[in-house]
Amino acid sequence: MQVRFEHVRADYQLGPIRTANVINDISAELPTGTFTAIIGHTGAGKSSLLKLINGLLLPTAGEVHVGGLMINVKGEKQILNQVRKRVGMVFQFPEAQLFAETVEQDIAFGPINFGFTPEQTKQAVRESLDKVGLSADLLERSPFSLSGGQQRRVAIAGIMATSPDVLVLDEPGAGLDPEGRKKILSMLKCWHNEHKATTLLVTHDMDDVATYADNVLVLDHGRVASYQSVRQFFSDEDRLSELAIDMPEPLRVQRRIEQEKGIKLSQVSLTRSELAANLIKEQLL
């Protein structure tokens, strides 16, 4: 399912203070099946952009298209409900949304709200629990009795249970140890591939961008500062430093070697094995 922004603007009103144009005229098209990383500094509008996709934040101008559905300033309830059914949203620290008595009830919450029948719900719960790598004997446990990592998985299962076509992820690995992080992200990537989902990932970690995403969309002061493929994006050294964006670890080491040797490798290395291969290919060793 394609996601398309057309001249979208949005702002926040908090009491007497109005933050104008948190999103300032954004137009972008995310084709079906792509994995897009959204990056930018704190306050660049990343969370607002995510919220626009399922109408948690309504545009003050412009249109957001999700598949055949369109959200504009009116934000009709029926359309919003249909959109939310199609969009799965994993917020930062999603375990903060757990509330039910049992894991099963918590995962079933979304499916029931979206009108799944009891049988469909039951099946959806089991499937998604399996997808996130938890065993079925947790179903009767209280979500609050689980470890932090398990809670996160349950929360994610609750979102996957409705089999969304668009998956929106806000730093799904935040706060976990490196192994836990890697597991969660590769699990989400697998799901993305299997469902041919359109996925958006907000992250500060450029290694995640390099490892998982196809495209990068850079936000800066509510505008799209850059939107291109991951490889192209990281090749443009000047633009990276202009936007003050980190490099993935392998690329940073590559640049360091290049600088000290006074040479330039023909390709950018996005992963460790690419860097190793590039070093060997260019006979630097």
Partner 1 sequence: MNKLILGRYFPGESYLHRLDPRLKLVAALYFIGLLFFVENGQGYIWLFLFTFLLMRLSGVSYSVYFKGIRPLIWLILFAVMLRVMFTGGGTIYFSLGPIMISRFGLLSGFYTFSRFIMIILISTIVTLTTKSIDLTDAIHALVKPLRLMRIPVDDFALMLSISLRFVPNLLDETQKVMDAQRARGVVFGEGNLIEQMKKLVPIVLPLFVSSLKRAEEMADVMEVKGYRSGVKRSSFRQLKWHLRDGVAIICIIILTLGVSFFNNINFVLLFNI
Partner 2 sequence: MNGSPILSVKDLSFRYDIRTDNYALSAVSFIVKRGDWLAVIGDNGSGKSTLARLIVGLVEPEQGSIFINNCILNEQSKWDLRKKVGIVFQNPDNQFIGTTVQDDVAFGLENLNLDYHEMEMRVFQALKLVDMYQYRDKDPSQLSGGQKQRVAIAGVLALQPDLMIFDEAFVMLDPKSRRELLNVLKNIQKKINLTILSITHDREEAAVADQLLVLKAGELIEQGTPQEVFQKNPDIEPPFAEQLRQELKRKGIEVPDGYMTEDELVAWICR
Question: From the list 14, 119, 244, 260, which residue makes contact with partner 1 (rule: CB under 8 A)?
Answer: 14
# chain residues binding partner 2, by CB under 8 A: 32
Tokens of 86: 């199609």
**Part in contact with partner 1 (CB under 8 A); list of ranges 21-29, 63-71, 93-101, 197-205:** 93-101
Residue with token string 């300032």? 24
Answer with the entry of partner 2, partner 1, none that 174 interacts with (C-beta below 5 to 8 A by kind): partner 2
Site string for partner 1, 116-145 (x = CB under 8 A): ----------------------------x-
Angle at 203 between CA 232 and CA 49, to 5 degrees: 90
Answer with the entry of partner 2, partner 1, none that 99 interacts with (C-beta below 5 to 8 A by kind): partner 1
- Cβ proximity to partner 1: between 96 and 276 the closer is 96
Shortest distance in whole angstroms from residue 46 CB to partner 2 = 12
Answer with the entry of partner 1, partner 2, none that 159 interacts with (C-beta below 5 to 8 A by kind): partner 1
Query: Which parts of this chain interact with partner 2 (CB under 8 A)?
Result: 42, 147-149, 174-180, 204-207, 246, 249-250, 253, 256-257, 260-261, 272-273, 275-277, 279-280, 284-285
Binding site for partner 1 (CB under 8 A): 13-17, 51, 54, 56, 77, 81, 84-85, 87-89, 91, 94, 96-100, 109-110, 113-114, 144, 158-159, 162
